[in-house]
Amino acid sequence: MVHTRSLLLSALAGLSAVNAISTIEVKGSKFFTSDGDQFYVKGIAYQLTPEDPLIDATQCGLDAALMKTIGTNSIRVYHVDPDGDHTDCMKAFEDAGIYLWLDLDTFNSQIEQISPHWNQSQLTAFSKVMDEFQQFDNLAGFFVGNEVLTTSNGSVAAPYVKAAARDIKAYRTSKKYREIPIGYSAADIAQLRPMLQNYLACGGNSSETIDFFSLNAYSWCGDSTYEQSGYNVLEQNSTELHIPIFMSETGCNTVRPRTFSDQSAIYGEMADVWSGSIIYEWIEEANDYGLISYGAKVDPASPSAPPDGYPRSGTPTPISPDFPNLSSVWKTLSPSGVKASAYNPTNSPVACPAFTSGAWEVNPTAALPTLGQEYTSGSSQATGASGSGSSSQTGSGSGSASATASPGAAAESLSKELKGVGAVVGGIVAVLAWL
């Protein structure tokens, strides 16, 4: 294992780019690099430790080198410590050509579905994360929320998500940061399609709307199809969307082995509208979604054991057949896209969804909540709702009427318990084969 570790680190060092990595920007309904190439997300969810996986530079280097071998260009991280030093980890991922999609909320600043509110302390917490990570060119985008709405009657929280986007974009402008895309990661709740995506994106004032929308979807399981999985409906719902959309979590594991056959659809017939996907997840945990492990599970009661028994650092070892299956699929999928210079967006801003009692209880003409405002049942000031906020919060998941828990909450649950590139890449592949 020591030999493997040194080889992976050496390989990563050889991947260092001569020039800084290009930044990601939005034009119409697509992502582009600052060099003008369309960008498709090929990502992996990466949350080794609940509080912050981007502190240990050695670990980041090992993981980035292995990710690079299968064509990964993005990671998603759900929580970070804005007071930490992330320079070396971000450099390790940049050297591997990997971008970061980062959630702005911390464990005590997320927007809630029950009694939603948006206040100065939340904005300050979001701003601290932005201050720390805006300096990195491989920071691709920020999420203002992850699965805030998790039930069909949670729509009254949507204006607070949109208010957060408005205020963090205003902060970005006031600090003269580059226009880092600001978006939202949604649970796939059938009853909220496509109202939530359209509401967050609607309006003629782009300073008050999200820059991209993403979905955590687990409806394609095993040998499903474009139609059986409902992916055809997801595409139909987003064809007129004027901002980019991609899957911020995917990779159903209820049918084994995972073949990741949905990727062929996402980067194939859906590629004109959708901008890629993020596979859940890198590390093996109790939810059994891991692509790699850092060793066998140990007794959590043993000395120095991780709380759940799953090692969270060390040499990443691919889990078969998931890791090689994903590698094989991704290697066949390289949509060419369009050059920014040749792309002229034609979609107009989508219309705001109408208020529908019992389904989408947001007044499309109401002003967004002001900073410090809290939702009051029966109030029509912010949402036009009759006060039917959800009485109990469940997990999210595939777009069925009875949504199942999204595995993306796994790291969060643990935290709450705790409170010549070609030649080099060829060398890495050889190391992987040896593993």
Q: Kindly report, residue by residue over 342-382, the tens digit of the pLDDT.
A: 999 999 999 999 999 989 999 999 999 999 999 987 654 44
CA pair distance 102, 45, nearest whole angstrom: 10
Catalytic residues: 147, 249
134: pLDDT confidence band, cut at 50, 70 and 90?
very high
Q: Assess contact for 360 and 195: CB atoms under 8 A.
A: yes
Residues shown for the chain? 435
Domain made up of 2-434: CATH architecture? Alpha-Beta Barrel (3.20)
Q: Which residues pair with 74 in a beta bridge?
A: 43, 99
| H or E segment and range at residue 100 | strand 99-103
**Beta-bridge mates of residue 373:** 118
Question: CB under 8 Å to 24, separation ≥6 — which residues?
Answer: 31, 32, 33, 34, 39, 99, 140, 141, 181
Q: What is the pTM of this model?
A: 0.86
Residue 418: C-alpha distances to residues 49, 125, 286, 377, 413 (Å) = 11, 20, 16, 33, 9
Report the candidate in 195, 279, 277 with the shortest Cα–Cα distance to residue 241. Answer: 195
**Domains of the chain by residue range:** 2-434
Q: Are strands 74-77 and 41-45 parallel, antiparallel or unpaired?
A: parallel
Q: Which residues contact 53 (CB under 8 A, 6 or more apart)?
A: 46, 47, 59, 60, 77, 80
Q: Give me the pLDDT at residue 17, please.
A: 41
Lowest mean pLDDT among 2-16, 59-73, 164-178, 296-310: 2-16
The per-residue pLDDT for 153 is 86
Q: Are 44 and 290 in contact (CB under 8 A)?
A: no
Which stretch of DSSP H or E encloses residue 74? strand 74-77
Question: 117: Cβ–Cβ under 8 A, 6 or more apart, which residues?
Answer: 111, 160, 373, 374, 375
The secondary element (H helix, E strand) that includes residue 277 is strand 274-279
| 404 has pLDDT over 90 | no
